[in-house]
Amino acid sequence: MLKVHNITKHFDTKIAVDGVSFEINSGEIFSLIGPNSSGKTTIVKSILGLLKPTSGTIEIDGHNIVKSPEQAKALTGYIPDEPTIYPYMTGEEFLYFTQALYNIPEKTRTKNLPNLLKTFNLGGVEKQYFEEYSRGNKQKFSITAAMSHNPKLLLIDEPIVGLDPTGAEIAKNLFVEYAKNGGAVLLVTHTLPVAEEISQRIGFLKNGKLVAVGTLAELKKQADLPKTATLEDVYKKLA
């Protein structure tokens, strides 16, 4: 579903991403982890088409993000690390607006709203302006909106930050169920227990390079750690 081939990204003389390649299949959750400034968000923004790679190619279901941006973006849902929305748009309007961007028919948009609000039990606050919401409720609306058009690829940048424990559990279950139904997920996070719990494979970034990719069991072997080691132990050794 997603093919990232040998991409680099330069900002003047700084190399933010250096020859990174990986693939994500339908039905798979792939986590990308690494220290701050290791290139994670730059890679996500390149996949989204918000940044143009200096070199290399990115394809979403066969569509090149540079050559066929509209076709590629139509298949993608994005959950940013900071849920910044128009401050004077209500949560209900935001969900309606997001579906409209993806050409979902008007009657279907209206019909979908009650079920979308049920995802995080947001009924009762949907008519408030976005600027009035807590950080957690902004995140809940952001997650719901990103999944409202049934994308084939979901890009997630730190989804759990700001959510209460119940909301975090709902979010994790949503992503797992989405993958079970054939969706592909790229999860960028510093919350290692979440990545360990729901990922099929994990990639480690360091200084813009992908230094290791594999299942948790494979990464433990690569790091020469026992089977009882956690992802945090692997992270300390590899990243």
Q: Which CATH number do you get for residue 200? A: 3.40.50.300
Q: In this predicted model, which residue has the larger pLDDT, 20 or 159?
A: 20
Chain centroid offset of residue 202 CA? 13
Domain finish residue from 107, 134, 150: 150
Q: Are residues 93 and 67 in the same domain?
A: no
Strands 184-188 and 29-33: parallel
The token duo for 18 is 């250096």
Q: For residue 170, is pLDDT > 90?
A: yes
Q: Are residues 144 and 185 in the same domain?
A: no
Does residue 238 carry a pLDDT above 90? no
Confidence grade of residue 36 (pLDDT, cut at 50, 70, 90): confident
Neighbouring residues of 223: CB distance < 8 A, sequence distance ≥ 6: 212, 229, 233, 234, 237, 238
Same domain (yes/no): 13, 86: no
Number of domains in the chain: 2
Based on the fold, state whether residues 140 and 112 are members of the same structural domain: yes
Q: What average pLDDT does this structure show over 158-174?
A: 91
* Domain-ending residue, one of 114, 130, 150: 150
% of the chain with per-residue pLDDT over 70: 100
Mean pLDDT of 125-139: 94
The CA distance from 184 to 231, in Å, is: 21
Is residue 136 domain-shared with residue 189, that is, in the same domain? no
> Do 19 and 107 share a domain, yes or no?
no
Residue 239 above 80 pLDDT?
A: no
pTM for this one?
Answer: 0.92
Do both 144 and 155 map to the same domain?
A: no
In this predicted structure, the answer to whether residue 84 has a pLDDT above a threshold of 90 is no
Among residues of the chain, what percentage have pLDDT more than 90? 88
Q: What is the pLDDT of residue 82?
A: 86
Residue type (1 letter), 93: E
> How many Cβ atoms are within 10 Å of 156's Cβ, its own excluded?
24
- Number of alpha helices (DSSP H) and beta strands (DSSP E) in the chain: 9, 10
Q: 37 pLDDT band (50/70/90 cuts)? A: confident
Which residues, 6 or more positions from 158, have their beta carbon under 8 angstroms from its beta carbon?
Answer: 81, 188, 189, 190, 191
**Residue range(s) defining the domain that contains residue 138:** 81-150
Give the pLDDT of residue 230: 94
Contact 141, 79 (CB under 8 A): no
| Domain end position, chosen among 124, 150, 176 | 150
- Assess whether pLDDT exceeds 80 at residue 88: yes
Same domain as 220, residue 157: yes
- If asked whether residues 131 and 177 sit together in one domain, one would say no
Same domain, 90 and 132: yes
Region 33-37: what's the mean pLDDT?
Answer: 90
Residues 176, 138 within the same domain: no
Average pLDDT, the chain: 94
Q: Which structure tokens are listed for 25?
A: 């299949």
Work out the pLDDT band at 99, boundaries 50, 70, 90. very high
**Range list of β-strands (E), 34-132:** 55-60, 63-64, 76-79
DSSP β-bridge partners for residue 157: 188
Q: Are residues 34 and 92 in the same domain?
A: no
From the list 225, 223, 201, the residue with the least C-alpha distance to 214 is: 201
- The pLDDT of residue 210 is 94
State pLDDT tens for residues 194-217. Answer: 999 999 999 999 999 999 999 999
As to burial, measured by CB atoms within 10 angstroms (0-12 exposed, 13-18 middle, 19+ buried), residue 64 is: middle
